[in-house]
Amino acid sequence: MVTTAEQPTAAWIPGPILGIETSCDETAASVLAEDGAVLSNIITSQHAVHQRFGGVVPELASRAHIESIEDVSAEALQQAGLSWTDLTGIAVTQGPGLAGALLVGVNFAKALAYALNIPVVGVSHLEGHIASAWLQDPAFPLPCVVLVVSGGHTHLYYKAPSGLCRLLGATRDDAAGEAFDKGAQMLGLEYPGGPSLDRLAQQGNRDSIAFPRSYLKKGSLDFSFSGLKTALLYTLQAIPEQFRAQRAADFAASYQEAIVTVLVDKAFAAARSAGAPALAVVGGVSANSRLRMLLQQRAASENMRLSLPSLAYCTDNAAMIAAAGRQTLRFGHRATLDLDAQASMMSPFAHAI
Ligand code: KG4
Ligand code: ZN
């Protein structure tokens, strides 16, 4: 992706790339080989730092990134069996995300690129998630539809044979990950909420409560999860507090089902209406066990090629950033040293077709 701080340069000499990701509460570094193979994928989670606050505290996130970025990057190099001087490029998440957290990664990447005299490029976190669909399946075809489901996004894209993206639909309120996290909070589950709710739901009856499924108007590929969240709140309020714990698994399973069935229905509807034979589902929520099962079943019955990255590539990681940056570097672009964090960056729109 070409930002104002990037300039076309002489052809890049391909070789190992370091990816760096610090947009939220994971400090991650990864090394990709010249052919795009993942040589290392190191992720340090800050969950312990934020747990007692029930959510990410931006200032604490920035500090934790500062403390671990160098070690995490060195470990990525070591696990790849390489040294700093073997690197031929650096890709770093430029946005969207927490401004202070992003700045840690961007400044570290620029300093490293300057010291090693190699190019650095800024990458959109969203483009990183999209690129994760090809990490383990480089032959995954285009055109395809990509559903990005994370803590900040629920976006459906058509990815054309050229690689450019067109937005087909997006959430009108909460992202799917937010719906999971807020639902988990209402149920009193441990932070981070999405994985906790997923685990609890496995013991519950998903048909026990008929939570609303918001499809919006006929044919719409947009999403809305705020009504569902309110429905859970009212359901919980209607039950005496002493009985809530014993029903929690049923609530979790029914609530989760209402989220994932809409995601699956809309993703397949989008692929069908776009005439795409392939669907990729990426981002943290794609780690959800029920969503993965439904996607796999539907893909088999509809003969749809599905890319569903392994769990390590669903939630935030730096391999996906290196993969997206690798494409940018191959186009011959590199950032200048005024590369800055962009907390509200939405680069797939810049590629709109
Ligand atoms: O992609 P990601 O790691 O970070 C963002 O870019 O936002 O996604 C994080 C989101 C969180 O909302 C988290 O609760 C959710 O993904 N998540 C899950 C699961 N694992 C992570 N949601 C449901 N089930 C899961 N197993
Ligand atoms: Zn993410």
**Which token pair is 348?**
């797939």
d(Cα 112, Cα 53) in Å, to the nearest integer?
Answer: 33
pLDDT at 163 over 80: yes
pLDDT at residue number 1: 41
Q: Are residues 276 and 148 in the same domain?
A: yes
Q: Are residues 28 and 116 in the same domain?
A: yes
pLDDT at 211 over 80: yes
Q: What is the CATH number of the domain that holds 218?
A: 3.30.420.40
Q: Are residues 269 and 320 in the same domain?
A: no
Q: Among 12-16, 157-161, 293-297, 340-344, which stretch is predicted with the lowest mean pLDDT?
A: 12-16
pLDDT at 284 over 70: yes
Q: Are residues 229 and 192 in the same domain?
A: yes
pLDDT at residue number 9: 58
pLDDT at residue number 212: 95
Q: Is 118 exposed, middle or buried (0-12, 13-18, 19+ CB in 10 A)?
A: buried
Residue range 102-107: mean pLDDT, rounded:
98
For the CA of 314, the closest atom of ligand 1 is 1
Tell me the CB-side half-sphere exposure of residue 11, using CA atoms within 13 A. Answer: 3
Residue having the nearest C-alpha atom to atom 20 of ligand 1: 195
Beta bridge partners of 146: 157, 280
What is the side-by-side order of every strand in the sheet holding 165-170? 165-170, 154-159, 144-149, 278-282, 305-307
d(Cα 189, Cα 14) in Å, to the nearest integer?
Answer: 46
Q: For 212-237, how does the pLDDT look when each residue is reduced to its tens digit (9 = 90+)?
A: 999 999 999 999 999 999 999 999 99
pLDDT at 62 over 80: yes
**Which token pair is 1?**
């992706």
Instruction: Note whether residue 11 is domain-resident.
Output: no
Instruction: Note whether residue 186 is domain-resident.
Output: yes
Q: Are residues 28 and 171 in the same domain?
A: no
For the CA of 178, the closest atom of ligand 1 is 12
Amino acid letter, residue 121:
V
Total length of the chain: 353
pLDDT at residue number 7: 59
CA of 185 to the centre of ligand 2 (A): 20
DSSP helix/strand/coil, 166 = strand
CA of 257 to the centre of ligand 2 (A): 22
Q: What is the extent of the structural domain holding 127?
A: 17-131+314-330
**Which token pair is 337?**
């040293």
Residue range 276-300: mean pLDDT, rounded:
98
Ligand 1 contacts CB of residue 316 (under 6 A): yes
pLDDT at 296 over 80: yes
Residue having the nearest C-alpha atom to atom 1 of ligand 1: 284
Q: Among 30-44, 192-206, 238-252, which stretch is predicted with the lowest mean pLDDT?
A: 238-252
Instruction: Note whether residue 353 is domain-resident.
Output: no
pLDDT band at 119 (very low <50, low <70, confident <90, very high): very high
Q: Are residues 216 and 255 in the same domain?
A: yes
Instruction: Note whether residue 5 is domain-resident.
Output: no
Q: Are residues 66 and 106 in the same domain?
A: yes
Q: Are residues 174 and 103 in the same domain?
A: no
CA of 177 to the centre of ligand 1 (A): 5
Residue range 245-262: mean pLDDT, rounded:
96
Q: Are residues 190 and 90 in the same domain?
A: no
pLDDT at 353 over 90: no
Q: Given the structure tokens 């989220």, which residue do they identify?
A: 259
pLDDT at residue number 3: 43
Q: Are residues 293 and 325 in the same domain?
A: no
Which residue out of 285, 292, 313 has the highest number of ligand 1 atoms within 8 Å of its CB and is therefore the one to mutate?
A: 285
Contact 139, 150 (CB under 8 A): no
pLDDT at residue number 348: 54
Residue range 262-289: mean pLDDT, rounded:
98
For the CA of 176, the closest atom of ligand 1 is 12
Q: Among 35-39, 145-149, 245-249, 272-276, which stretch is predicted with the lowest mean pLDDT?
A: 245-249
Q: For 70-100, how does the pLDDT look when each residue is reduced to its tens digit (9 = 90+)?
A: 999 999 999 999 999 999 999 999 999 999 9
Instruction: Note whether residue 350 is domain-resident.
Output: no
pLDDT at residue number 283: 98
Instruction: Note whether residue 237 is domain-resident.
Output: yes
User: How many domains, in total, are found in the chain?
Assistant: 2
Instruction: Note whether residue 213 is domain-resident.
Output: yes
Give 138 or 336, the one with higher predicted confidence: 138
pLDDT at 350 over 60: no
Instruction: Note whether residue 102 is domain-resident.
Output: yes
Q: Are residues 228 and 318 in the same domain?
A: no
pLDDT at residue number 67: 97
Q: Are residues 107 and 154 in the same domain?
A: no
Nearest to 94 by CA among 118, 66, 125: 125
pLDDT at residue number 6: 62
pLDDT at residue number 10: 60
CA of 150 to the centre of ligand 1 (A): 5
Residue having the nearest C-alpha atom to atom 24 of ligand 1: 288
pLDDT at residue number 2: 39
Q: Among 99-108, 203-212, 239-248, 311-320, which stretch is predicted with the lowest mean pLDDT?
A: 239-248
pLDDT band at 332 (very low <50, low <70, confident <90, very high): confident
Ligand 1 contacts CB of residue 225 (under 6 A): no
* Cα–Cα distances in angstroms (integers) from residue 104 to residues 8, 26, 90, 107, in the given order: 25, 12, 14, 5
pLDDT at residue number 242: 85
pLDDT band at 191 (very low <50, low <70, confident <90, very high): confident
CA of 279 to the centre of ligand 2 (A): 19
Give 54 or 317, the one with higher predicted confidence: 317
pLDDT at residue number 316: 97
Cβ neighbours of residue 309 closer than 8 Å, sequence gap 6 or more: 132, 133, 135, 136, 282, 286
